[in-house]
Chain A
Amino acid sequence: MEPIGYVKRLVSVTITSREISPGSDSAGGAFAEVYCRMYRSLVLLAYATTASVPEAEDIAQDACVQLCRAFDRIRMPEAWARRAVISLSTSWVRRRERERMLFAQPTALPAALLPEDGVIVWNALTSLSVRQRQAILLRYEADLSEREIATILGCRPGTVKSLLSRALDTLRKEMEDYA
Chain B
Amino acid sequence: MLEGAEARIAVSLREIRAGLPLAHDGDPGAREAYARAQRPHSRSSPRRRWSGALLASVLVGLGASGVAVAAVVSHAGSDPVHDFFWGVPQKGPHGGRLAVQPSEEPHVLVATVTLPDAQHASVYVSAAHEPAVCLLVQNTLGDGSVGQGTCGDGPQDNSAAVWPMSGVLVGAVPDTTISRVRVTLGGQNLELAVVDRYFAFAPPDNASASTLVGQGQIVGYDSSGNRIGTWAFSLPYSGRS
Interface residues of A (CB under 8 A from B): 1-7, 9-18, 20-22, 28, 31-32, 35-36, 39-41, 43-44, 47, 52-54, 57-58, 60-62, 64-69, 109, 113-115, 117-118, 120-122, 136-137, 140-141, 143, 168, 171-172, 175
Contact = CB atoms under 8 A, between A and B. Distances in A.
A11 B182 CA distance: 10
Contacts of A118: 12-13, 15-16
21 contacts: A1-B159, A10-B225, A12-B191, A13-B105, A15-B127, A32-B27, A36-B30, A47-B20, A52-B91, A61-B32, A61-B33, A62-B44, A64-B29, A67-B33, A68-B37, A113-B20, A114-B16, A121-B12, A141-B14, A171-B9, A175-B8
B191 A40 contact: no
Contacts of B79: 17-18, 20
Contact of B16 (A6, A31, A109): A109
Interface string B1-15: 010011011111111
A122 B19 CA distance: 13
A140 B14 CA distance: 8
Contacts of B82: 17-18
B93 to A, nearest CB: 10
Nearest to A141: B13
A57 B23 contact: yes
Contacts of B230: 3-7
| A interface majority secondary structure | helix
Contact of A7 (B17, B25, B128, B227): B227
A38 B12 CA distance: 17
What are the 9 A-B residue pairs with the smallest beta carbon separation, nearest first? A68-B37, A15-B107, A121-B12, A22-B34, A35-B30, A141-B13, A115-B15, A32-B30, A140-B10
Contacts of B106: 15, 17
B42 A44 contact: no
